[in-house]
Amino acid sequence: MIEIPLTGPPVHLLPLEIVERKGIGHPDTICDALAEEFSRALCRFYLERFGFILHHNVDKGLLFAGRTEPAFGGGRVLEPFEVFLVGRATTEFRGVVVPVEDLAKEAAYRWFKAHFHALNPEKHVRLKVCVRPGSPELVELFLKAQQKGVPLANDTSVGVGYAPLSPLEKLVKETEKYLNAPSFHAEHPALGQDIKVMGVREGDRFHLTVACAMVGKYVSDPGAYWETKERLINLLKDRFSGAYPGLEIALNAADDPEKGDVYLTVTGTSAEAGDDGEVGRGNRVNGLITPLRPMSLEAACGKNPVSHVGKIYNFFAQQTAEKLVSEIEELKEAYVFLVSRIGSPINEPQTILLKLRAEGDFSRVSSRARELVKEELETIPSYYEKIVSGVWPCC
């Protein structure tokens, strides 16, 4: 393990900062969520039937947008959008056939019904499950882990995390969560779930560009659309301007009133017609896309939570960074990087790098950080419990 001091100004003091979050109804986030729900469904089945999680990685997915005819006061779906869930899984064990396709479809439809108010998954979505058994080598790693008691890394990968979030990062994340809260949709059904927030800070000026899919069924005419749009902007300003004075908000910036171009949908997501999606193109495990911070390109969603370090190490890095800054008073900022080696126990990474911004004696603070990281490493084998239960969401 190596600890080095962070140099240069923190992100929130740079002259420019950029942060993005793709909301739950964005096509990329839909793919991430369905891959993760599929993995969790497999995990639950494996645990209930066999007592432990078997090999699987269902982290490949593609959304092929459909065709719709949006209209004020209604609209119709001409062709459903299609979702392809692709990966490897244990399909039979000890004579028991695993109902892989049924598990995937039940999980997907349940997720859509829980999060969308204008989308009917049986009518508006076609789901294709493309899963075959895993490679013998990776399956063997699972069996070895059962003997050793500690899972073995099934990939050579890197995990990255940092803490704390900057004010802009908090603003972007909280904005999408506020707009996509079930209670907010209940009060404002014209708002769909496909919400994307792009935040830019220039000096001390904060700008948000928010894309919100509107649901035609709940918008009677163009006048109602513009009223809804203005109301949403005012609600956002009332909610956040106190903490972010001078906050500027542009909502559905591509709208053109002269041409009658507006962001109107039938189901509340651009997946219905305008935008395809893919696993791994959206938010990282901290729920954000942060080009000015280090990020892993791993698609964490859908990877197994037992031995796939492309998932586990990103959770570890994020959770550990947050723990470092919360438990060590002198530590003001922490970046955690760790690299696995395939076949090694997951709690024995190949290397760990800590980049720390500390007040006072750096050697003393870094020594405490090192001990905390070592303690956290011993908890990695139990990470799957919080992932499978949904306590730690992937996106």
Helix (H) or strand (E) holding 247: none
- Count Cβ atoms within 10 A of the Cβ of residue 79 and give its class: 0-12 exposed, 13-18 middle, 19 or more buried: middle
pTM comes to 0.95
Residues 290, 370 within the same domain: yes
Residues 295, 262 within the same domain: no
The rounded distance, in Å, linking the Cα atoms of 148 and 146 is 6
Asked which of 64-68, 115-119, 340-344 is least confident by mean pLDDT, the reply is: 340-344
- Amino acid at the residue 111: W
Per-residue pLDDT tens over the stretch 179-209: 999 999 999 999 999 999 999 999 999 999 9
Residues 246, 142 within the same domain: no
Strands 248-251 and 205-215: parallel
Task: Give the number of other Cβ atoms within 10 Å of residue 86's Cβ.
Answer: 18
172 found inside a domain = no
324 found inside a domain = yes
> Measured between alpha carbons, how far is residue 242 from residues 169, 171, 239, 245, 341 in Å?
16, 12, 7, 6, 48
The rounded distance, in Å, linking the Cα atoms of 319 and 31 is 24
What is the domain range of residue 210? 16-22+190-278
Q: What is the dihedral of CA 44, 155, 316, 286, to 10 degrees?
A: -80
The rounded distance, in Å, linking the Cα atoms of 121 and 66 is 13
Are the C-beta atoms of 276 and 306 separated by less than 8 Å? no
Three-class DSSP category at 67: strand
The rounded distance, in Å, linking the Cα atoms of 283 and 29 is 7
Residues 161, 293 within the same domain: yes
Helix (H) or strand (E) holding 32: helix 27-50
Q: In the chain, pLDDT over 90 holds for what percent of residues?
A: 87
Does residue 47 have a pLDDT over 90? Answer: yes
Confidence of residue 94 (pLDDT cuts 50, 70, 90): confident
Cα angle 62, 83, 42 (rounded to 5 degrees) comes to 95
175 found inside a domain = no
- Domain termination residue (choose one: 278, 310, 341): 278
Residues 264, 288 within the same domain: no
Q: In the chain, pLDDT over 70 holds for what percent of residues?
A: 96
> Measured between alpha carbons, how far is residue 283 from residues 153, 197, 391 in Å?
24, 11, 17
Residues 160, 105 within the same domain: no
